[in-house]
Chain A
């Protein structure tokens, strides 16, 4: 994907939107937050993270093809580059309060663009169907 709401949201933050392989971004990332749960992307993250960098895994996937890397290969890369790999899901209470504080400071206009589709509760089945343009779909129960 190179156009549409997602790249626009990233550009609005002053960031560069890359699509394609991690090897082609043109630099060694310090931090990779992996959200897809796809084996190929996870393996690429381990291979191309910069020395001393952190890979944060947040996607939940399963299966997929083997990538040729054994667990020992992956471990060697992580050891030799002093990398940190961390998995994360959910949040403790303090994180929820922190999130509320961050939201309070956030740009409302940019934030509202994250909600890319609103559906009425009776159309929940439609809300569950994903389209490539979707960032976050919400069921609107009442006016805010």
Chain B
């Protein structure tokens, strides 16, 4: 990972800034100008400084990109060279000073390793933004990490979602303990998490979702055969155990700052649900209603009384329910984010 400024660049920048300031204050003190003139000069100088800073930054970025392009084209030439000697020469040229002391055998080893690298991008660009995720190497106890991960793959779905919260359950603990879980094909690590709640950043071209909608991601995907049950969308009853599950079995889960999902597997939930949690937490913590005015969505905004009103109405409704229905209802949330692989044959 390249630092924003190498130490030598940093020292130079600091020195340069210092000289500029010194020159400037020096010229100010010798000038016998009036206050108005000094102010004009000050503003001018500030503007000049700012412009210089911007130009400097642009030059720096262009320099980085050019350097990257050069590296890439060298890499490509080395990989494409049919003559090993020519490839070795290219490597030696790319390493001034160091290249001159390298033995042909060492250069050959470098050439072979460069050939083994994954295909480089066509042209130099900025690395994709990276995000944080909780990942695990399945079946390896203690391998879970909170780390940088690539942005979610567009193949995961056309809807881009910002994670709000992810529930933790017994299956997560089992996966972290190395007792369960499968990484996506061709990958060593799995993004954990299957009890999701997120906010749509980009709804994509299909489906009825809007930016800002709160969504929960369905966990299971039908098996590819498909079995008779998966074929009719009843993948809960998958017959052959070849289903996949996000955060559990062969598909990355939801414990990442952003995730993608197919619109048909994103279940929209009432926008006040997320807020009610926030409202309640804030109220307990501070005794104040922190949630109001945070722009949680149309569901709340339409109600003049805001969150407080919504909560009061909900309480009122519950009182009525208690009289009307005898035995307790199961917790309303229990079906929302529950999923545990039930086909034990798949574990074998």
A interface residues (Cβ-Cβ under 8 A, vs B): 10, 13-15, 33, 60, 87-93, 95-100, 102-115, 118, 121-122, 124-125, 127-128, 130, 136-144
Contact = CB atoms under 8 A, between A and B. Distances in A.
Most buried by A among B168, B272, B329: B168
A92 B132 CA distance: 30
Interface stretch (B66-74, B90-98, B274-282): B274-282
Contacts of A91: 236, 335, 338-339
B193 A139 contact: yes
A110 B336 CA distance: 16
Given A107-B318, A139-B168, A99 B278 contact: no
Given A91-B335, A99-B336, A142-B164, A112 B280 contact: yes
Contact of B296 (A104, A118, A144): A144
B86 to A, nearest CB: 49
Contacts, number: 175
Interface of B: 132, 134, 144, 146, 162-168, 170, 172-173, 176, 192-193, 195, 197, 199, 214, 216, 218-220, 233-237, 255, 257, 264-265, 267-270, 272-281, 294, 296, 310-311, 314-315, 317-318, 322, 327-333, 335-336, 338-342
Contacts of B170: 60
B233 A92 contact: yes
A139 B192 CA distance: 12
B314 A109 contact: yes
A5 to B, nearest CB: 12
A97 B249 CA distance: 23
A121 B255 contact: yes
Given A90-B338, A98-B335, 11 more contacts: A33-B330, A90-B219, A90-B236, A97-B267, A100-B267, A103-B269, A103-B270, A107-B314, A122-B146, A124-B192, A139-B168
Given A15-B328, A104-B270, A109 B199 contact: no
Contacts of A118: 165, 281
Contacts of A122: 132, 146
Given A13-B329, A103-B332, A137 B218 contact: no
Nearest to A139: B166
B-side interface mostly: mixed
A143 B294 contact: yes
Given A96-B336, A100-B269, A141-B257, A108 B311 contact: yes
A89 B342 contact: yes
Nearest to A56: B330
Nearest to A14: B322
B327 A15 contact: yes
Most buried by A among B166, B216, B235, B275: B166
B229 to A, nearest CB: 9
A116 B295 CA distance: 25
B340 A144 contact: no
A109 to B, nearest CB: 5
A111 B274 contact: no
Given A103-B336, A125-B144, A90 B294 contact: no
A109 B276 contact: yes
A112 B333 contact: no
B342 A87 contact: yes
23 contacts: A15-B327, A60-B340, A88-B342, A89-B339, A89-B341, A92-B234, A92-B235, A98-B335, A106-B333, A107-B317, A108-B279, A110-B318, A111-B273, A111-B277, A112-B277, A118-B165, A128-B172, A138-B166, A138-B167, A141-B165, A142-B257, A144-B274, A144-B278
B323 to A, nearest CB: 8
Contacts of B276: 108-109, 111-112
Contacts of A93: 218, 233, 264-265
